[in-house]
Amino acid sequence: MCGIVGYLGKRNAKEVLFEGLRRLEYRGYDSAGLCVVSPSGELSVVRVVGNLDAMEKTLESFDTHGTVGIGHTRWATHGAPSKENAHPHTDCKGEIAIVHNGIIENFVQLKAELEERGHVFSSETDTEVLAHLIEENYSEDLGEALRKSLERVEGSFAVATVHKDSPGTIAAARRDSPLVLGFGDGEWFLASSVPAFLPSTRKVVFLEHNDVVVIDSTGCSITDLDGAEVRREVVEVDWSLDSAEKGGYKDFMLKEIYEQPQAVAETLRDKFDNKKEVIVEDLRMTREEALELRRIVVVACGTSYHAGLLGKYLFERWAALPVEVEIASEFRYRNLVVTSDDLVVAISQSGETADTLAGIREARRLGACVVAVVNVVGSQMTRESDGIIYTHAGPEIGVAATKTFTTQIVCMILLSLYLGRLRGTVTDAEYHAIVDELEVIPKKMEKVLGSSGEVSKCAEKYYKCDDFLFLGRGVGYPIAMEGALKLKEISYIHAEGYPAGEMKHGPIALLDADVPVVAIATMDSVYDKMINNIEEVKARGAPVLAIASEGDGEIVKICNDVLWVPETNEMLYPLLTVIHLQQLAYQVAKKRGCNVDQPRNLAKTVTVE
Ligand code: M6R
C-alpha cells in the first residue's frame, strides 16, 4: 500500500530513486513522484498521475543531478489519484518534501488546527499535515523536527523527509508500516522493502516501531521518538537479484508461476532430519504442550486465507484438532473466544497486512500462542508472533499471489504433520507416504507447468465469458476458491468458488451454456461425488473444464475439456491443481488485454483496514 524510497550517496539520485520505485511498483501504481535535493538546497519535485511508465517519460526532461532524494509510488487512500494528491507533499513555503506510506488517523483534527494557524493545504491527503507540522517544528535539526511532529500523529507511517536548509540529510521514521535501511559503499538507501535496493546492497536494518533514522554523508543514526539512541542489527539478506527481476518472462506473475517447483523445494529444504522426522524449528513445542492444545485458529486474508482453509483439512486429518479458519477483518471485531489452549496460525505473504496483524495482537492479548507463516523476512508479523515459519518463496512482485500460495500450503502440511507426530495422531504409514511424496512433488509441479499450451487452448475458448463457476470438494474446495479469486482479480471476470455439493442450494441457478464451470475432480475420496456434481452441471447445459488425474478415462467422456495433473496423495493434489488455475487466469487475462502484474484498484500489500 504505497512504496517509499530514499537515497543519499554519490550517484544521480533521480536514477537510483526511479529504479527503486520500479521495484516497489507492486505496492501501488496510481500515481508517483520524487524529490531531488541539490547541494545548495533546491528541492526539485516531480509528480505524475499513473504508473511509473508515465513517470519515466516525465523524468526525461527532469534535469537534476542532486545525490539526495526521496520517492513514492501511491495506492490512494485519502484523496483520488491526482497530481495534487501524489507524493511528495510539501509545506506552505515549499521548503520540505515528504513521502509517506500508512494512514494518519487524526489528520482531520490536525489539519483543522494547522489551518487555524494559517497553513494552506494543496492536497486532500492525510500525509500533507506532516509536512506542515515539520514546517512548524523545524529549526536546523530535521530529525528533531520529525520526532516532534510525529508526537502529534496517530496511525501508521513509514515516512522520509528532506528540507531545503538541510540539503545533505534525510530523516525517516516508521510505525506499523515497513521501512528498511540499506547500507552501500558510501551510500544509504531507504525503502518499503528490500528489493528496491537489492542491486546495490544486501546489508540492511529492518527498522522497528517508532524508530527515527537520520542519514547524512557521515552515516546514519537511529533513535526512538524521544531522541534516545537505539541499536539495530545489520543483517545480510540472501534474496538474489534475479528473484526480483522478470528474467526474460513477460510478467512477474508468469515468472512466479514457473518458480513454484523451486520455491516449494526451498520451503521443504532442511525440514526433515535424517530419520525423516519433520522439523518446525521455531515452534519448539513439547509433546505435552502439543497434547494440551485444544484448537487451531487460522487467521488470514485473500489467498492466504485460502491456504488456511486448506490447512483446516490437513490439521484435522493429521493433528486431529478442531480448526477454525477466520478472515482476519472479521476476526478482529468480535467478542473473541480465544484462550491459551489455542494455537493461532496467522498466514501472510507480506507479513504486513493490517487486519491479520491486528488479529495477531488480539490473539496474543487473549493469551494464545501465535505462529506466523510469512514470506517477507523481518516483516512486522515476524516480530509480533511467538513463532515463525518462513515460506522461502523469494520476493513475489506480481499482485496476484502464486508461489507464496503453494509454499503456504507446504507450511500447512509441515505444521500439521509436525503436530500430528507430536500428538501421535498421524499413522506411520500415512506419515511416511506423505514425506516420500513431498520429495517428488516439485518434479510433478514441473510437469503440470509443461502443459501451458493446453491451458492456453482452454483460455482461448472461454476468455470472452462474463461469468465462471469454480467447484471443488474436500481439498479441492479451497482450490476452487483460489482459482476464482485469481481469475477475478487479474481478468476482472466475475467468478465464484464454491463447494461443489453446495451448488444445488443456489448457484446452480446461474448456470447456462455461457457459464463455464471449472471442476477440480482429481482421483480422491470425493471423486465420485464430484462426478455427480459435474453431471448436474452438464444437465444445465454449462460447459465443464475439469482438472483431473492422469489416467482417468471416465472424465474425458463427460467434460468438454480436461487439464491433467500427475497422480499424487489426495492431500497434496492442491499443489498441482492450483497451477492450472493460475495459468488459466493468467492466459485469460492476457487475452483480454489486462495488466496482470498491476490489476486495477489493487495493491500487493494491504496495510490499511
Ligand atoms: O500479504 P498477505 O498474504 O497478508 O495478503 C493477503 C491478501 O491481500 C492477498 O493474498 C491478496 O488476496 C492477493 N492479491 C491474492 O492474489
pLDDT at site 237? 86
Say if residues 175 and 208 touch (Cβ distance below 8 Å). no
Instruction: Please report whether residue 93 resides in a domain.
Output: yes
pLDDT tens-digit readout, 537-590: 999 999 999 999 999 999 999 999 999 999 999 999 999 999 999 999 999 999
Instruction: Mark whether 572 and 497 lie in a shared domain.
Output: yes
Q: Are residues 374 and 272 in the same domain?
A: yes
Given a cut of 90, whether residue 606 has pLDDT beyond it is no
268 and 416 in a single domain? The answer is yes
Greatest alpha-carbon pair distance for the chain in Å reads 79
81-127, pLDDT tens digit by residue? 888 999 999 998 899 999 999 889 899 999 999 999 999 999 999 99
The pLDDT score that the predictor gives to residue 371 is 96
Q: CA-based Rg of the chain, rounded to a whole angstrom? A: 25
Residue 607 pLDDT > 80: no
pLDDT for res 544 = 98
Q: Is the CB of 253 under 6 A from ligand 1?
A: no
Query: Which is more confident, 604 or 267?
Result: 267
Residue whose CA lies nearest to ligand 1 atom number 12: 302
480-517 pLDDT, tens digit per residue, is: 999 999 999 999 999 999 999 999 999 899 999 999 99
Do strands 387-390 and 369-374 pair parallel, antiparallel, or not at all (unpaired)? parallel
Measure 405 CA to ligand 1 centroid, in angstroms.
Answer: 9
Average model confidence (pLDDT) for the chain?
93
Judgement on whether residues 444 and 456 belong to the same structural domain of the protein: no
- Sequence-ordered strand ranges (E) for 286-439: 295-300, 323-327, 342-348, 369-374, 387-390
Beta bridge partners of 127: none
For residues 387 and 305, give the distance between their C-alpha atoms in angstroms, rounded to a whole number.
19
3-state secondary structure labels for all residues of 141-168: CHHHHHHHHHHCCCEEEEEEEEECCCCC
Closest by CA position to 388, among listed 360, 367, 424: 360
Residue 243 counted as domain residue = no
Q: Give the distance from CA 9 to its chain's centroid.
A: 30
Please state the domain count of the chain. 3
Dist CA 45 CA 40 (whole Å): 15
- The protein residue whose alpha carbon is closest to atom 11 in ligand 1 is 302
**Residue of 2, 35, 411, 559 marked catalytic:** 2
271 and 194, same structural domain?
A: no
**Residue 381 Cβ < 6 Å to ligand 1:** no
Instruction: Let me know whether 276 and 381 are in one domain.
Output: yes
Report the separation in Å between the CA atom of 349 and the middle of ligand 1, taken as the mean of its atom positions: 7
Active site residue 2: yes
Q: How confident is the model at residue 182 (pLDDT cuts 50, 70, 90)?
A: very high
Task: Please name the residue that has the C-alpha cell 518434479.
Answer: 443
Beta-strand relationship, 295-300 and 342-348 = parallel
**C-beta separation of 102 from 156 below 8 A:** yes
Cα of 37 from ligand 1 centre, angstroms: 36
Q: Looking at the predicted structure, is the pLDDT value of residue 458 above 90?
A: yes
pLDDT at 377: 80
Q: Of 237, 261, 294, which residue constitutes the final position of a domain? A: 237
- Distance of alpha carbon 48 from alpha carbon 252, whole angstroms: 24
> Three cell numbers at 459?
483460455
Give yes or no: residues 469 and 549 share one domain. yes
Q: Give the whole-angstrom CA distance, residue 399 versus residue 401.
A: 6
pLDDT over 90 at 277, yes or no: yes
pLDDT digits (tens, 9 = 90+) for 125-165: 999 999 999 999 999 999 999 999 999 999 889 999 999 99
DSSP tag of 315: I
Residue 491 lies in a domain: yes
Is 604 part of the annotated catalytic residue set?
Answer: yes
What's the CATH code of the domain at 539?
3.40.50.10490
Residue 379 belongs to a domain = yes
CATH number of the domain residue 106 falls in = 3.60.20.10
User: What distance in Å separates the CA atoms of residue 303 and residue 584, rounded to the nearest whole number?
Assistant: 16
pLDDT at residue 75 greater than cutoff 90: no
Give the three-state DSSP class for 456. Answer: helix
- Is residue 376 in a domain? yes
Residue 246 resides in a domain: no
- Domain assignment of residue 437, given as a range: 252-448
DSSP characters over 262-274: HHHHHHHTT-B-T
Query: Is residue 350 lining ligand 1, measured as CB closer than 6 Å?
Result: yes
How far away, in angstroms, is 569 Cα from ligand 1 center?
Answer: 27
Residue 606: inside a domain, yes or no? no
Residue 397 lies in a domain: yes
- In whole angstroms, give the CA distance from residue 512 to residue 298: 36
Angle between helices 452-462 and 574-591 in degrees, nearest 10: 50
Kindly state whether residues 70 and 93 are assigned to the same domain.
yes
Least confident of 13-17, 158-162, 363-367, 378-382: 378-382
Yes or no: say if 307 and 409 are a contact pair by the CB < 8 Å rule.
Answer: yes
Instruction: Report the nearest-CA residue for atom 16 of ligand 1.
Output: 400
Cα-based torsion angle of the residue sequence 65, 66, 70, 75 in order, rounded to the nearest 10 degrees: -20
**Percentage of the chain with pLDDT > 90?**
80
Q: Distance from CA of residue 444 to its chain's centroid?
A: 26
Domain boundary among 237, 261, 280: 237
Contact 382, 364 (CB under 8 A): no
User: Quick one: pLDDT at residue 605?
Assistant: 79
Question: Does residue 485 contact residue 582 with C-beta atoms inside 8 Å?
Answer: no
Cβ(474)–Cβ(576) below 8 Å: no
Ligand 1 neighbourhood includes 348 CB (under 6 angstroms): yes
Buried-exposed string 24-37: b where 16+ CB fall within 10 A, e elsewhere: bbbbbbbbbbbbbb
Q: Which of 196, 214, 237 is the last residue of a domain?
A: 237
CB atoms within 10 A of CB 501: 15
The predicted structure's pLDDT at residue 427: 95
Is the CB of residue 375 less than 8 Å from the CB of residue 409? no
Positive or negative, the CA dihedral 558, 475, 480, 506 is positive
395: nearest Cα among 489, 485, 263: 263
Location of C-alpha cell 502464486 = 402
**Residues 327-338: tens digit of each pLDDT:** 999 998 888 899
Q: Are residues 212 and 325 in the same domain?
A: no
Pocket test for ligand 1, best of 27, 193, 304, 375 (most atoms within 8 A of CB): 304
Mutate to test the pocket of ligand 1, among 353, 486, 492 (most ligand atoms within 8 A of CB): 353
Do 191 and 312 belong to one domain?
A: no
Residue 63 CB contacts under 8 Å (≥ 6 apart), including other chains: none
| Upstream peptide bond of 88 is cis (omega within 30 degrees of 0) | yes
In this prediction, residue 247 carries a pLDDT of: 75
Domain co-membership, 476 together with 551: yes
Per-residue confidence at 193, pLDDT binned at 50, 70, 90?
Answer: confident
Q: Are residues 442 and 480 in the same domain?
A: no
Report CA dihedral (399, 79, 154, 601) to the nearest 10 degrees. -20
Question: How buried is residue 592: exposed, middle or buried, by Cβ count under 10 Å (0-12/13-18/19+)?
Answer: middle
Q: Which amino acid type is present at position 471?
A: L
Are 99 and 69 a contacting pair, CB within 8 Å? no
Residue-level pLDDT at 417: 97
- DSSP single-letter state for residue 1: -
- pLDDT above 90: residue 185: yes
**How far does the centroid of ligand 1 lie from the alpha carbon of residue 365, in Å?**
25
Which residues, other chains included, contact 94 with Cβ-Cβ below 8 Å and sequence gap of 6+?
43, 164
